Amino acid sequence: MAISKKKLVFRRRAQVARGECVKVKSLTLTGQSMLSPHTVGREVSGNPPFQKSGQLVAEAPQVADESSRMDPSVLASTSTEPNGQAISSPEPVESSLPDKYRLPTISEANAALRRVSDAIRIRARSGGYIYHDLDHTTRDRFTAMRGCLSNFIRLGGKHFLAESLRAAGAQEKGATYARSIRHWIRDLIKTGDLPYYQHGWWNVPLLDDEDIGREIKAHLQTVGKFACAEDIVKFFLDEDTRTRLGVPYAISLRTAQRWMTKYGGFRWRKELKGQYFDGHERDDVVKYRQLVYIPFWRAIERLMTIFNDKGVPDPQ
């Protein structure tokens, strides 16, 4: 009876698997023979990878040690007694750990706590506190940092990881938020920067800056009383001016008009009919008045009847 192709494939796969099993077994036995007798005896008495019958037995999963799940900063601050009991020290141990895993000292934690507390509120002269106008996200961050630092200092500089988890749990957050709290505290100690929430600040108009506003107003004062929005546009056409003020590109006429009404203190008014936009001192207006209008008026003045203040014709 002919054997089907499917059975041939299955038999071939079984032979390959059997050969791999024998190869693994031989490598394992060779490795055990190279170990010391004490080590081999401990492995065989524990849970050997193969039984004597040659049947493959899955190894028992290794349970991670409690210390392997600890933060490296906590491991760096712990010492071991001769009897094997670990004791944590209040001050961080000088080691080769990077700064992102180093425990803060008590003095650093106190300075950071004062900085965070002042960012949340300041003491008023009349008593009580004045709270700063912070968004909800920034206030939650500062509150979590203050809680973590307060408990860390109260415990004598111990359990930095546990206190960050406690502060995160108070806001119904997890280990990821606790890691962020530790990062914010270390960044505050290193650079002095507080973790303000920056969402929504990328599109703040540049012309809202006070320094730029003062420069624009000073330029308009040099232009005179007939300054307009076009003068602001021309002011930002200069590349040196933009570089000095930190404006990346020139502005449009509409942007200049919005700045004049919103930040510059100017207001628009309706142009009166029959009046020139920039007064009667324009060059062509002055030329027409001096060379055409006034000579013509003086020529026909002798043909006019001139009245005095009493409404009586003046004989002159």
Q: Look at residue 149 and tell me if it is in a domain.
A: yes
109 and 178 together in one domain: yes
Q: Are residues 217 and 143 in the same domain?
A: no
Is the same domain home to 106 and 187? yes
Q: Would you tell me how many other CB atoms lie within 10 Å of the CB of residue 291?
A: 10
What are the pLDDT digits (tens) for 38-70? 444 444 444 444 444 444 444 444 444 444 444
**Separation CA 29–CA 36 (nearest Å):** 13
pLDDT digits (tens, 9 = 90+) for 183-235: 999 999 999 889 988 775 555 567 677 788 888 888 888 888 778 889 999 99
Q: Are residues 175 and 214 in the same domain?
A: no
Domain that holds residue 244: 206-262
Owner of token pair 């628009």 = 268
Angle at 196 between CA 190 and CA 200, to 5 degrees: 140
* Same domain, yes or no: 163 and 242: no
How many domains, in total, are found in the chain?
2
Whether residue 243 has pLDDT greater than 90: no
Is 150 within 8 Å of 160 (Cβ atoms)? Answer: no
Q: pTM for the complete prediction?
A: 0.40
105: in domain: yes
**How do residues 255-298 score in pLDDT, each as one tens digit?**
888 888 877 778 777 766 665 556 677 788 889 999 999 999 98
d(CA 115, CA 83): 42
Residues 110 and 179 in one domain: yes
Quick one: 186 and 116 in the same domain? yes
Same domain? 109 vs 184: yes
**Based on the domain organization, do 180 and 126 belong to the same domain?**
yes
Instruction: Count how many Cα atoms sit within 13 Å of the Cα of residue 214 in the half-sphere of its side chain.
Output: 3
Phi, psi torsion values for 85, nearest 5 degrees: -85, 130
Give the sign of the dihedral formed by CA 86, CA 92, CA 95, CA 97: positive
Q: Which residue among 137, 168, 191 closes a domain?
A: 191
The answer to whether 57 and 78 are in contact (CB under 8 A) is no
Instruction: Examine the domain organization and report whether 176 and 252 are in the same domain.
Output: no
Domain boundary among 167, 191, 215: 191
Say if 172 falls within a structural domain: yes
In a domain, 299, yes or no: no
User: Domain boundary residue among 237, 262, 287?
Assistant: 262
* pLDDT tens, residue by residue, 64-109: 444 444 455 444 444 444 444 544 444 444 445 566 678 899 999 9
* Pair 103, 187 in one domain: yes
The span from the CA of 129 to the CA of 133, in Å, is 13
